[in-house]
Structure 1
Amino acid sequence: MRKLILAASALALMSGAALATEVDGTVAKFNPAVRVITLTNGESFTIPRDVAIPPQLAPGKRVAIDQHDNGAKIESVMVDAAS
């Protein structure tokens, strides 16, 4: 029974990790009025109001955008301090 519980727990952890993705890139444009970040590769992301946008976000900065549910929900935006 214990092995079954451990196997089920491991499967649950692995399946949850598969749903989260991270997009890394360099900011080309940021429109704070509509909360849209456009990366240099052309991808654009609309950041929900409940997600904090770092104050140092600006064109030229490297960012990591964490998404959940295959891109349906953005969970966080982080700016690389070294950029």
Structure 2
Amino acid sequence: MRKLILAASALALMSGAALATEVDGVVAKFNPAVRVITLTNGESYTIPRDVAIPPQLAAGKRVAIDEHDNGAKIDFVLVGSAT
């Protein structure tokens, strides 16, 4: 019984990690008033108020956006160098 519980716990932890994705792209525009990042591929992401937005975020910068649950929750935004 104990092994079954451990196996079920491990499976639950692994399935949660599988729901996380990271989106990489280049910022086409950023609207700080509504916290929306639009990438050059046309995808837009609304960043929740509890997630910090790096001050160097601007059009032309490369970003990585970490999201969970198919985009329902964004965990963080990282900014790289300009393209």
Task: Answer yes or no: same fold by TM over 0.5.
Answer: yes
For the residues of structure 2 that align with 1:39 and 1:13, how far apart are their CA atoms? 31
Q: 1:32: how far off?
A: 0.8
For the residues of structure 1 that align with 2:62 and 2:7, how far apart are their CA atoms? 38
Q: TM-score, normalised by structure 1?
A: 0.86
Structure 2 equivalent of residue 74 of structure 1: 74
Structure 2 equivalent of residue 10 of structure 1: 10
Unaligned runs of 5+ in 2: none
Q: State the AA in 2 paired with 1:19.
A: L
Q: Stretches of 4+ moved more than 4 A in 1? A: none
Q: 1:73: how far off?
A: 1.2
Q: State the AA in 2 paired with 1:3.
A: K
The DSSP-based 3-state class of the residue aligned with 1:7 is helix
Unaligned runs of 5+ in 1: none
Question: % of aligned pairs identical?
Answer: 88
The Cα RMSD (Å) is: 1.4
Q: TM-score, normalised by structure 2?
A: 0.86
